[in-house]
């Protein structure tokens, strides 16, 4: 694909909030990957609350960034008025929405200004399948392109009756995770006496992201005489604020308080990923698994759940391992395999770097810029 050059069409990126999550990290990395010419006509609007560190990173890029601090759930029509004034003043061709709430605002803007084109990215599984008939009808009438982040999400969107679905796989800013010197062997092989550190980075929503499965697996490994350290990095969902306490209780129940950390509110997990001996993605649902690519870019072997999204990135036994979702025993087995065969872990690292290179953020950026130009041709 020929790399797009010059200014992109006028675009407003719209997201409800800027917290610690895959969609938010992707938006930040995407905007920062734009050159000055490409970003000249780009405005990013964060409707609700924003993590200060992520907002600062977003503002380090070349695009205009607006944070409106709208109270979550507010139906104050003044915010729609503010959006319509923005689209009237800046005359964008496209509004690109990144979650369900921002999509609703984008569709309202299109009803008021039919010249607008709406792009919506589905960043997870079980989004499109949750739409009722009325929502699906509105979506198909007002959203010009639905972007799916993986083949699995593409299938779900199409099976749910969404039209004009295109696949643009997630990308990762490799420079944030690569070191100046990339050793041939992974840390497990270079530092065999270190107690292995297993890191997972995800929202603290255990029924989706499976942090409890990793804790159970750690208990099994300790019972087998294989001590590990666990670091759970993420932020709780506003819908499930009790999750950190539930996970802490599970840690106590298994006597793992000395070896499990729960780190909340980390806006940039790159340091924690680079520090890991193994990156574990124990999700029960996963549309893609951006942290898999981040770990591969950092030279860290990966064990992830055998789900459609992760399986698009991991060839089992070639560049990582896949374990049955929700099965602590199988997860413990796969972790133990890596710990017992450290030369194989180093081979995973080399293959993983090749996988990550194919998903550089610039590849994703260029695919989106091509889509925008197609819509405005």
Q: How many CA atoms lie within 13 A of 111 on its CB side?
A: 11
154 in the same domain as 218: no
> Per the domain annotation, does 277 fall within a domain?
yes
pLDDT in tens, 177-193: 876 567 767 888 888 88
- Give the count of beta carbons closer than 10 Å to the beta carbon of residue 80: 14
Q: Are residues 54 and 28 in the same domain?
A: yes
Query: What single string gives the DSSP state of each residue in 255-273?
Result: T-TTTEEEEE--S--HHHH
Residues 106 and 187 in one domain: no
Are 192 and 328 in a shared domain? yes
DSSP string, 255-318: T-TTTEEEEE--S--HHHHHH-SEEEE--SS-SS-HHHHHHHHTT--EEEESSHHHHTT--BTT
Whether 296 and 342 share a structural domain: yes
* Mean pLDDT within 275-302: 94
* Average pLDDT value for residue range 277-284: 97
Q: Do 305 and 324 fall within a single domain?
A: yes
Nearest to 294 by CA among 276, 311, 273, 308: 273
For residue 2, name the pLDDT band (cuts at 50, 70, 90). low
Using N-to-C axis directions, what is the helix angle for 52-60 and 22-33, rounded to 10°? 20
Q: Region 316-327: what's the mean pLDDT?
A: 97
Q: Is the pLDDT of residue 118 over 90?
A: yes
Judgement on whether residues 19 and 47 belong to the same structural domain of the protein: yes
> How far apart are the C-alpha atoms of 109 and 125, rounded to whole Å?
26
Strands of the chain, DSSP E: 11-15, 42-46, 64-67, 94-97, 117-122, 145-148, 165-167, 197-201, 229-234, 260-264, 278-281, 302-305, 321-323
Task: Find the range with the poorest average confidence among 34-38, 78-82, 133-137.
Answer: 34-38
Q: What is the pLDDT of residues 49-89, one digit of tens each?
A: 988 888 998 998 889 999 999 998 888 899 999 999 999 99
Predicted confidence at residue 257, as pLDDT, reads 95
């964060």: which residue's tokens? Answer: 46
Q: Among 376, 372, 374, 363, which residue's Cα sits nearest to residue 26?
A: 363
- Specify if 259 maps to a domain: yes
**Cβ atoms 48, 79 nearer than 8 A:** no
Q: Tell me, what CATH number does 220's domain have?
A: 3.40.50.2000
Please tell me the predicted confidence (pLDDT) of residue 262.
Answer: 95
Check: CB of residue 21 under 8 Å from CB of residue 203: yes
Q: How many helices (H) and strands (E) does the chain have?
A: 17, 13
User: Is-contact 307 325, C-beta < 8 A?
Assistant: yes
* Domain shared by 186 and 328, yes or no: yes
Q: What is the pLDDT of residue 241?
A: 81
Q: What whole-number percentage of the chain has pLDDT above 70?
A: 97
**Angle formed at CA 322 by CA 320 and CA 326, multiple of 5 degrees:** 145
- Is residue 78 in a domain? yes
Summarize the confidence of residues 99-105 as an average pLDDT.
Answer: 94
Task: Give, rounded to a whole angstrom, the gap between the first and last alpha carbons of the chain.
Answer: 17
Question: Higher-confidence residue: 335 or 125?
Answer: 335
* Structural tokens at position 247: 């996970």
Total length of the chain: 377
Average pLDDT, whole number, for the chain? 92
What pLDDT does residue 3 have? Answer: 61
Please compute Rg for the chain using Cα positions. 21
- The structural domain count of the chain equals 2
CA angle 326, 270, 181 (to 5 degrees): 115
Tell me what pLDDT residue 377 has. 81
* Same domain, yes or no: 17 and 163: yes
User: Three-state DSSP class for 106?
Assistant: helix
Residue 104 lies in a domain: yes
Q: Which residue range(s) make up the domain with 132?
A: 11-171+360-376
Task: Express each pLDDT in 207-262 by its tens digit.
Answer: 999 999 999 999 999 999 999 999 999 888 777 788 899 999 999 999 999 999 99
H or E element: which one contains 244?
helix 243-253
Mean of the pLDDT values across residues 111-127?
95
Q: Is the pLDDT of residue 320 over 80?
A: yes
> Per the structure block, which two tokens stand in for 187?
């840390």
């Amino acid at each position: 694909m020929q790399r797009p050059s010059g200014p992109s069409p006028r675009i407003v990126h719209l997201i409800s909030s800027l917290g610690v999550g895959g969609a938010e990290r992707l938006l930040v990395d995407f905007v920062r990957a734009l050159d000055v010419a490409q970003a000249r006509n780009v405005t990013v609007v964060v409707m609700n609350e924003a993590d200060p560190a992520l907002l600062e990173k977003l503002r380090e890029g070349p695009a205009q960034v607006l944070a409106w601090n709208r109270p979550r759930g507010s139906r104050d029509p003044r915010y729609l008025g503010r959006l319509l004034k923005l689209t009237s003043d800046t005359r964008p061709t496209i509004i690109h929405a990144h979650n369900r709430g921002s999509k609703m605002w984008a569709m309202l803007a299109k009803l008021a200004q039919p010249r607008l084109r709406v792009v919506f990215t589905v960043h997870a599984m079980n989004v499109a399948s949750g739409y009722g008939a009325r929502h699906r009808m509105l979506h198909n009438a007002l959203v010009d392109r639905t972007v799916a982040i993986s083949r699995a999400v593409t299938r779900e969107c199409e099976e749910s009756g969404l039209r004009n679905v295109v696949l643009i796989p997630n990308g990762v800013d490799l420079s944030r995770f690569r070191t100046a010197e990339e050793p041939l062997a992974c840390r497990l092989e270079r530092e065999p006496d270190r107690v292995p550190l297993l890191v997972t980075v995800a929202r603290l929503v255990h029924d989706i992201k499976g942090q409890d499965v990793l804790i159970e697996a750690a208990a099994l490994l300790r019972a087998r005489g294989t001590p590990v350290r666990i670091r759970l990095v993420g932020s709780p969902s506003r819908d499930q604020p009790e999750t950190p306490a539930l996970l802490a209780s599970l840690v106590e129940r298994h006597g793992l308080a000395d070896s499990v950390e729960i780190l909340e509110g980390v806006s940039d997990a790159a340091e924690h990923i680079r520090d890991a001996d193994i990156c574990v993605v124990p999700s029960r649902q996963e549309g893609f698994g951006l942290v898999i690519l981040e770990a591969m870019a950092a030279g860290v072997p990966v064990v992830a759940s055998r789900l459609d999204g992760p399986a698009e990135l991991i060839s089992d036994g070639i560049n990582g391992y896949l374990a049955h979702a929700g099965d602590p025993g199988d997860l413990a087995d796969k972790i133990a395999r890596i710990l017992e065969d450290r030369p194989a872990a180093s081979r995973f690292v080399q293959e993983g770097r090749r996988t990550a290179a194919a998903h550089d953020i610039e590849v994703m950026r260029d695919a989106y810029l091509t889509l925008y130009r197609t819509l405005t041709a």
